């Protein structure tokens, strides 16, 4: 079972990807983790990717797919995998499809965790983080016992720059421009499935498992 997770930043697709991987006994494959592992292990692919990253450039699609194919060729992926963070654009999706086609494989489902922008802005701007111990909270869903104070170590909690409303809006604009077209792409291929990401986490997961079987 090969699954691609889609959804705007803050929609919860990463959390769902991990839960799917655990339920079905397949790896959760994120592009960030792949890059870090290859660079840490000093592989030829990692060295090549690091040159672009060190220069502040995006790793080319063709190289990203090569790193991805190297990852999914490992034994733990023989029963499938959950892709999180790739593809992000139509060209990336096409390169991935072509590469999988060459080895006689294809993606089974693209699951879109659908959440309206206003919900995401509210969800992310409510996050608070402790920069001392790394604990995270949400002012509505997982509030600290004392406002703006970490339960774990007593340090002050902060709203990260990434979670500020103006930053979230910019990230959503990029998503709508670059990544949302994948919805139409995978709909045309007949493999898109959409779930309501505004539901509680467990209900979203139950909707996904009903699709995957």
Largest CA distance in the chain: 56
Are 57 and 46 in contact, with CB atoms under 8 Å apart? Answer: no
Query: Is 171 marked active-site?
Result: yes
The single residue of 2, 71, 123, 127 carrying the catalytic annotation is 127
Q: What are phi and psi of 52, to 5 degrees?
A: -70, -45
With b meaning 16 or more CB within 10 Å and e meaning fewer, what string describes 39-73? beeeeebbebbeeeeeeeeebebeebbbbbbebbe
The single residue of 36, 51, 78, 160 carrying the catalytic annotation is 160
The single residue of 13, 71, 123, 128 carrying the catalytic annotation is 13
Query: Is 127 marked active-site?
Result: yes
Query: Is 13 marked active-site?
Result: yes
Cite the active site residues: 13, 88, 127, 160, 171
């Amino acid at each position: 079972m090969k699954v691609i997770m889609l959804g705007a930043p803050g929609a919860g697709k990463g959390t769902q990807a991990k839960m799917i991987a655990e339920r079905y006994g397949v790896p959760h494959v994120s592009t960030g983790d792949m890059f870090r592992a290859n660079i840490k292990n000093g592989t030829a692919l990692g060295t090549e990717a690091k040159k672009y990253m060190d220069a502040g450039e995006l790793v080319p699609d063709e190289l990203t797919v090569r790193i991805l194919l190297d990852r999914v060729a490992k034994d733990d992926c023989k029963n499938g995998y959950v892709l999180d963070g790739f593809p992000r654009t139509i060209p990336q999706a096409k390169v991935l499809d072509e590469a999988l086609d060459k080895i006689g494989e294809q993606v089974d489902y693209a699951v879109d965790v659908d959440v309206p922008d206003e919900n995401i802005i509210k969800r992310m701007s409510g996050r608070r983080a402790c920069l001392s111990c790394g604990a995270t909270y949400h002012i509505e869903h997982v509030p600290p016992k004392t406002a703006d104070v970490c339960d774990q170590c007593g340090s002050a909690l902060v709203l990260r720059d990434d979670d500020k409303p103006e930053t979230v809006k910019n990230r959503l604009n990029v998503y709508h421009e670059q990544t949302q077209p994948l919805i139409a792409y995978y709909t045309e291929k007949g493999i898109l499935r959409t779930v309501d990401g505004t539901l509680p986490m467990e209900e979203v997961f139950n909707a996904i498992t009903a699709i995957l079987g």
